[in-house]
Amino acid sequence: MDFSRDFIALSCDKGVLRFGEFVTKAGRLSPYFFNAGLFNDGASFGALCGFYARTLLSASLPCDMLFGPAYKGIPLVAGTAMRLAEHGHNLPFCFNRKEAKDHGEGGTLVGAPLQGRVAILDDVISAGTSVRESVEIIRAHGATPSAVVIALDRMERGTGSLSAVQEVREAYDIPVLAVASLKDLIGYLADSPALKANLEAVQRYRETYGVSGDA
């Protein structure tokens, strides 16, 4: 997908994607670091939501509404819903609170009622905790989780032989769509004179911790 390369270029320009030596939560020494929280101004965040919208549209999956797990998913669903509306797809959206509200309308959900086929929007999948909580919330309201959309699929093994993304696919039997993957990043580095020096380290990391196949 051409827009995957555009997304990686934006991530590098914004410092969202950096290269060097970084220790992951799993204690691995990674040659790159991705922090979607640095899409922190109107222009770059609007572009990010545009990439989410294009990822959803290019997958041609049936989708009736969007759900954003607190907290990172909250601005993502609002922004992506606006971008989708610009493409002629006006979808409702909903997100959860971390704490139940005990006044006003109460409850833990904000936005449109959960119904139909629901796409979950998050930044990345690491332990899969927010996806599991989102699936439980959606199903509890009688709706169907239909897809998960994330910014970057690191394509690396979790505790077993599967990646976090593959574990989610297997556990819930729903597709996980990524704006870009580690495979896309490697292709981008190979074609970038300014960043090519990082290619070998990223390839070596994938060989060490990566999962087989393109999933």
Domain that holds residue 24: 2-209
Residues 6+ apart with CB under 8 A from 128: 164, 167, 168, 171
Calpha distance 188→210 (Å, rounded): 18
- The annotated binding site for orotate is made up of 33-34, 126, 154
Is 37 a member of any domain?
A: yes
Is 215 a member of any domain?
A: no
- The annotated binding site is made up of 25, 33-34, 71-72, 97-98, 101, 103, 122-130, 154
CB 16 within 8 A of CB 51: no
Length of the chain: 215
Answer whether residue 104 shows pLDDT above 70: no
Catalytic residue among 87, 89, 101, 196: 101
Is 214 a member of any domain?
A: no
| Catalytic residue status for 103 | yes
Is 164 a member of any domain?
A: yes
Helices (H), the chain: 2-14, 42-59, 73-86, 129-140, 164-172, 182-190, 199-209
Catalytic residue among 14, 103, 141, 196: 103
**In this structure, what token pair is assigned to residue 22?**
């970084």
Write the pLDDT tens digit of every residue in 131-171. Answer: 999 999 999 999 999 999 999 999 998 878 899 899 999 99
Q: What is the domain-level CATH number for residue 184?
A: 3.40.50.2020
Write the pLDDT tens digit of every residue in 70-93. Answer: 989 999 999 999 999 999 999 999
Share of the chain above pLDDT 70, in %: 93
Is 150 a member of any domain?
A: yes
Is 99 a member of any domain?
A: yes
Is 114 a member of any domain?
A: yes
The total number of structural domains that make up the chain: 1
Is 100 a member of any domain?
A: yes
**In this structure, what token pair is assigned to residue 114?**
């959960």
Answer whether residue 4 shows pLDDT above 90: yes
| Catalytic residue status for 101 | yes
Residues 6+ apart with CB under 8 A from 197: none
